[in-house]
Amino acid sequence: MTTDSRVGTDREHTGRPEVRPAAGHIGADITGVDLAGDLDEGTVAAIRAAVLRWKVVFFRGQRLDHAAHVALARRFGEPVVLPRRGSASPADFPEIETTADRLELGGRYGMDHDEWLRRRRHTLLRGWHCDHGARVDPPAATILRAETVPPYGGDTTWANLAAAYAGLSAPVREFADRLRAEHRLGVGYQPRPGDDAYVRHLLDHQTASEHPLVRVHPETGERILFVNGYYVEQITGLSRPESRAVLDMLLEQATRPEYTVRLRWEPGTVAFWDNRATVHLAPADTAHLDHPRIMHRVMLAGDVPVGVDGTPSRPLTGTEPGRW
């Protein structure tokens, strides 16, 4: 039976946040907070500190509606307003993007959801990504809430890119510190034979930036292994074979199990993550299930990444800072 936030169990919120780490390097559960309430400055500061420390935090049993979701996001930054959203997104709240898995791409570009998933994840590492990583200024953070989830399946996994960088050997860290890479929309998509409507869409809406392979976190000062499987196309200055070998090594490092945490969603669960220091893997195990999975996302505007040498990212096509 599909579960829905409107019939979830009530939880007691004391107003005093308690942070409980969920895994060794990433993830924490925060209890004692009603996110729909009037959060005081101390609570906001505690949540912000937990996000910076643990990269992603989880709240259970929340009763956020669209307005409260947007109000919560504004306590931590400026919500992004996307120029294009799916048909499931609420018209009156342009800051919110709703993903309703089976509805999202069914019938669009000549593909059903199963084919879209296969073409987007044709290798084990392709699905890992940060949100809008091809932009010159990817979002700083994402707040995602679950409305309706299947009774099983649909988990999301995050990886800590600061821990992944720290876990590299010193010579590899020094090598990576000097590199830059091209991030491009649709790199992870495997085209259909012949004419492909989605490829045409990508070419018409192409977005690409050159980012440092190691970025310096603007708040913590940590060095972040800034790689992901869905947007990164080529390391600047390396040949294609060299680039592929280095990227595969770094992606395998970034997604090692010890650097990850996995969330089992429930209706009313909220995940709040640092998009500058993580990559995440959306579920691929629900397409065959006859149960909806409806999630609502608000992203916070981010800054232009800066490398170890102080050089910022640069736009290549279809992107400029602050303009969505």
Where in the sequence numbering do the catalytic residues fall?
Answer: 129, 131, 280, 297
Instruction: Report strand pairing: 56-59 vs 28-31.
Output: parallel
Contact at 8 Å (CB) between 235 and 210?
no
Please state, in angstroms and rounded to a whole number, the distance separating the CA atoms of residues 322 and 150: 36
Q: Could you tell me which residues come within 8 angstroms of residue 94 by beta carbon, excluding any fewer than 6 positions away?
A: 81, 82, 85
Q: How far is CA 155 from the centre of its chain?
A: 14
Q: Could you tell me which residues come within 8 angstroms of residue 233 by beta carbon, excluding any fewer than 6 positions away?
A: 181, 182, 183, 184, 187, 208
Longest dimension (CA), the chain: 59
Strand order in the sheet with 232-235: 232-235, 180-184, 208-212, 314-317
